[in-house]
Chains A and B, each alone.
Chain A
Amino acid sequence: MEVDREFKIVTLGEGRVGKTSLAMRYVRGQFNEKEQSTTNANFLEKNIRINETSIKLNIWDTAGQERFRALAPNYYREAKGALLVYDITDKESFWKVVSWVEELKMQADKDISFVIAGNKCDLELDRQIPKEQAIAYAKQIGAAHYSTSAKSGMGVNECFEEIAKLILDKESRSGSPIRSSKARSRVIVKNQEEVVKKKKSGGCC
């Protein structure tokens, strides 16, 4: 199959919010409670078609545990889209999304597109994050918000395809495919390390 575009998307979020389940659900169309845990990252791909454009999505599904966080810049630099996942039954996981947004704004590609996914919405009864609050936040940072459930499949395709659409939109507006230059990203990496260190010593979260 011929591919017109190739986009790299990274999933970010606290450990166990369901990043891997979402990605697997999307790519393989199934929910597997027996999913393997992620140590550094999983690498997946899926071919889709949006408005006559065939796109290969490379999904880099990162580990959420705090001690792997220093690795994250390797994954999100060069990424054109980020899926930020939180667990609707876990307040802290939402604050983690907020902190990821801050980090990405500073460190990632300027044109990176965000989508926020409130996962596990099959557990509506245990909800701790009011949907309105999450939507309002997403709006504020110019991102789309989706309620997803890797278990039922709700919102899964939509959120990934939304990212692809956002990236395509940005490309068509800027008139040419966005290409992040390597030279630039190398420089960014250096900065990232510094920032990450600073953040650590500051002791956030």
Chain B
Amino acid sequence: MYKYDTYDHQMVRERIAEFRDQVERRIDGRLTEDQFKPLRLMNGVYLQLHAYMLRVAIPYGTMNSAQLRVLGRIAREYDKGYGHFTTRTNIQYNWPALTDIPDILDELAAVEMHAIQTSGNCIRNVTTDPFAGAAADELEDGRPWAEIIRQWSTFHPEFTFLPRKFKIAVNGASEDRAGLRVHDIGLQLVKNEAGETGFEVWVGGGQGRTPRLGHRIRDFLEPRDLLSYLTAILRVYNQHGRRDNLYKARIKMLVEAIGPEEFARQTEAEWDEIRDSNLVLPAEEIARIRAFFDEPPAATGSAIPATGRADFAAWLRRNRRDHKVEGLSSVVISLKPIGGTPGDITDVQLEAVADLAEKFGFDEARATPDQNLVLPHVRNSDLEAVFDGLVAAGLATANAGLATDIVACPGLDYCALANARSIPIAQSISNLIEAEGLSDQVGDVTIKIDGCINACGHHHVAHIGVLGVDKRGEEFYQITLGGNFGKDASIGNIVGKGLAGEDVPAAIVRALNTYLEIRNEKERFIDTLRRVGPDAFKESIYAAA
């Protein structure tokens, strides 16, 4: 894991002093709310329905036990005893006072964390595969590159007042668990014919009001050129991205307006001017950062334990993943208890995960885009102890990747932008699927729910998406089908008119039953849907109960 040096520490400390000063100036009137808002957002501070919300960065989703404990303490001391993991692998607190936030940032800084650029029209927290450094299908760990980008993008003097927010993801595995094609820039690690590692560059993806999949604008970029190439892309965007219309300001709209070929041409022309500038990454610095991300040693002779315990066996089947190192596994800690709030975790649970990560997980945990946690490195001989620890903490739900592993944005229960609630819908879908006993039969399927078109809950890329809308004071929910997150990414299509909230769970259960009726053997939900098309599912969704 990356360790701060004195430069990184000083940067974060100076940032806190700056924010403390900004809060003071807002309160005494030297800053107006209009001026303060973008500044607080760039420190992760939103003003939501009931209170301020603080979004803490978890760079590329990686945390150690000391950090988890501080996250737990913050939940207890400054909030109402819980936090919420997001689809961009950050954690949010829903109730902090503005005047406490500088102190919270101090607590975070002590364990090398911050809230820098977790919101605002700037380059946001860089995400990667939650199984980076562990996944059996990995070519190279994406995290060193994500860290290099984190540093380069922090307080970038030219790119801090962009037309709109800007999200970068790096993926180093053959499966895409980072969602490259729905990011402003997606970087896929690849090897060229000479066997050298480099990046495939994708630009112009994004969700929100007008979801778009990114376009590949370069097949191979040498690592030394990473920062100059990113600079070229951002410079073209900063100058030509639209600023007159909030809804057309993302880079995807610029790429669409001028075409990916023209966007690539402008980027390459700008890059030609700066590729040999002082933006070239020194090999020593690349090596220095890479050295922080070592793989754990092999645990030879340690096989997956055979067990007579049904609960442990079920959990192993659903929540364990293969590891690239012999004798190790990765495990998913589901934050989707049946009927709970997706992504929420209590102070005590954060501390329990910290203990397990420290004792059995080489002191590492990850946050995932599905709002779950992962212990990336666990010895197979420790799996049962981990499971027991999770059971004791109420974190052993064996549903990773199943229909009850629902992703949901905070929605109208918290968010000032939302039009409809999403968490209660997720809760009732989860409860009904559990009551019907459908989860295990249906197997892999993704259900994602949004309370507005900004799509923080990623409904566009869910097999079954749910989008809340408001019609004259009443909540309605549109169902989308056929979205997918990953290598074969796709955007879901709306099946028809919106449903009332109380009708959504039954409609989804009917769609899942339709799948069970018409699937071929070993076909996943998305495969069946792609094979037969949406009509049968659509019919079941609108079938009267």
- Do A and B actually bind? no
* A contacts, CB < 8 Å to B: none
